Amino acid sequence: MSFFEWVKVFELKPRYLLAVWLFGALLLLSPAYASERFGFASIVTHYRGWIGLGTLAFFVLWVVQLTAILKDKKEKKARSKEEQIRAQERRTEILKAVNTLSKNENFILLYSLHQNQQTVFAALSNRYAQAMCAKGLLKASPEGTSFTIPSRSHTLFGIT
């Protein structure tokens, strides 16, 4: 076997490394009458050092991989928490913008929510739609014929 085939041991999942480690520990720590009964007493007496080294190596690999997995989970949890904080800040920002709407801007927003639509058809020169664009509640389409509610507002307003 080449060296590169032996390196594949590092790619094993932690559960397999744990199984090999436990088997090696079982061989080394089993009482004499049990190892004689199962027929591996002569193997253990002749290769005790190699079995011990292999068991130790698999234990170390298992601990290293387990540590890496736990670190990844901790980082994912931290990222998830940061995303939740950012989403809460976005919601607060949108709600603050909604609180500053005039009567006509409020009408445009309520109409689109009532109709469950993302697109508001209005002239590009409509000052109320432009004011909502400035507040970040609407976004002008490239064609210049309509406005859309930005995707970050969809979940807040319940539009799917």
pTM: 0.52
pLDDT at 153: 53
Confidence of residue 99 (pLDDT cuts 50, 70, 90): confident
Q: Are residues 81 and 114 in the same domain?
A: no
CA distance 132 to 134: 5
DSSP for residue 39: T
pLDDT at 156: 52
DSSP for residue 132: H
CA distance 20 to 127: 72
DSSP for residue 9: G
Average pLDDT over residues 97-121: 82
Read off the tokens for 145.
Answer: 């014929």
pLDDT at 151: 62
SS3 (DSSP) at 80: helix
CA distance 30 to 158: 64
pLDDT at 95 over 90: no
**Residue 121 φ then ψ, to 5°:** -90, 115
Q: Are residues 125 and 151 in the same domain?
A: yes
50 lies in some domain: yes
Q: Are residues 8 and 85 in the same domain?
A: yes
Q: Which domain holds residue 129?
A: 100-157
H or E element that contains 130: helix 127-134
Please state, as a whole number, how many other Cβ atoms lie within 10 Å of the Cβ of residue 58: 22
Beta bridge partners of 147: 120, 140
Q: Are residues 8 and 78 in the same domain?
A: yes
Convert the pLDDT of each residue in 27-48 to its tens digit. 888 888 888 888 888 888 888 8
94 lies in some domain: no
pLDDT at 56: 92
Structural domain count of the chain: 2
Query: What's the CATH code of the domain at 151?
Result: 1.10.10
Q: Are residues 131 and 81 in the same domain?
A: no
